[in-house]
Chains A and B, each alone.
Chain A
Amino acid sequence: GENVEQHPSTLSVQEGDSAVIKCTYSDSASNYFPWYKQELGKGPQLIIDIRSNVGEKKDQRIAVTLNKTAKHFSLHITETQPEDSAVYFCAAIQYSGAGSYQLTFGKGTKLSVIP
């Protein structure tokens, strides 16, 4: 099955600086890579995603890059704000045949933005 590695496990940045979280995956058949933000006491929420036919995607202060050859993808947050503090999860999706599919999550990165 798929294996997703995520680094770092914790990350502290000063407000206004950039934050980068990196993930690698093992299954070359995976073709959809979402990023989720989980705030305390809440379920994960999608913040950005990328498909395997795209190398980079940007949405305001958030960007994701994908290198299919190397099987790694990264989340970039610029001009960080205290409200960006949360746990971030990367994920990869693989299809098991007969229409079934499964998300495999990384272990998460706890991001702290220091005012």
Chain B
Amino acid sequence: SAVISQKPSRDICQRGTSLTIQCQVDSQVTMMFWYRQQPGQSLTLIATANQGSEATYESGFVIDKFPISRPNLTFSTLTVSNMSPEDSSIYLCSVGGGAGREAFFGQGTRLTVV
């Protein structure tokens, strides 16, 4: 199993500012995933972060808006840049899920942009 600590758990931010979300895993993992969950919606993958390489972004998400760092095998950050109210969502980091293994999720960061 994996225990994921994500912070902050919630934040209220002014539009135009940026917020960096941290994700710490209690074991070394190759791939870490960042998801967005808009109010009442499902999880949408933003990007996959591999240690030692650039993150891979899904359609509709770009590095300038959601820069990701992956400095080592247990840690990653997601920055939400130049925020607007449309960025108000829950952001989740995740590990695992490959080869039929369980995926684990952090508790999420509830972001409100005003």
Is A42 an interface residue, CB under 8 A from the partner? yes
* Contact A43 to B41, CB < 8 A, known contacts A51-B100, A101-B97: no
Size category, A interface: 20 to 34
CB <8 Å contact, B98 and A108: no
How far is A95 from B97 in the complex, measured between Cα atoms in Å?
Answer: 11
How far is A44 from B48 in the complex, measured between Cα atoms in Å?
Answer: 18
Grouping DSSP codes into helix (H, G, I), strand (E, B) and loop, the B interface class, with mixed when no group exceeds half, is strand
Is B103 an interface residue, CB under 8 A from the partner? yes
User: How many inter-chain residue pairs (CB < 8 Å) link A and B?
Assistant: 55
Contact surface of A with B, Cβ cutoff 8 Å: 31-32, 34, 41-46, 49, 51, 89, 93, 95, 99-103, 105-108
- Give the residues in chain A near B100, CB-CB below 8 Å: 31-32, 49, 51, 93
- Give the residues in chain A near B43, CB-CB below 8 Å: 44, 89, 105
How far is A37 from B12 in the complex, measured between Cα atoms in Å?
Answer: 26
How far is A46 from B31 in the complex, measured between Cα atoms in Å?
Answer: 18
Contact surface of B with A, Cβ cutoff 8 Å: 4, 6, 31, 33, 41-43, 45, 48, 56, 92, 94, 97-100, 102-108, 110
How far is A41 from B107 in the complex, measured between Cα atoms in Å?
Answer: 7
- Give the residues in chain B near A95, CB-CB below 8 Å: 98
B3 nearest CB across to chain A (Å): 11
Q: Which of B42, B97, B107 contacts A42 (CB 8 A)?
A: B107
Q: Which of A43, A89, A103 contacts B97 (CB 8 A)?
A: A103
Of all chain A residues, which has the CB nearest B9?
A41
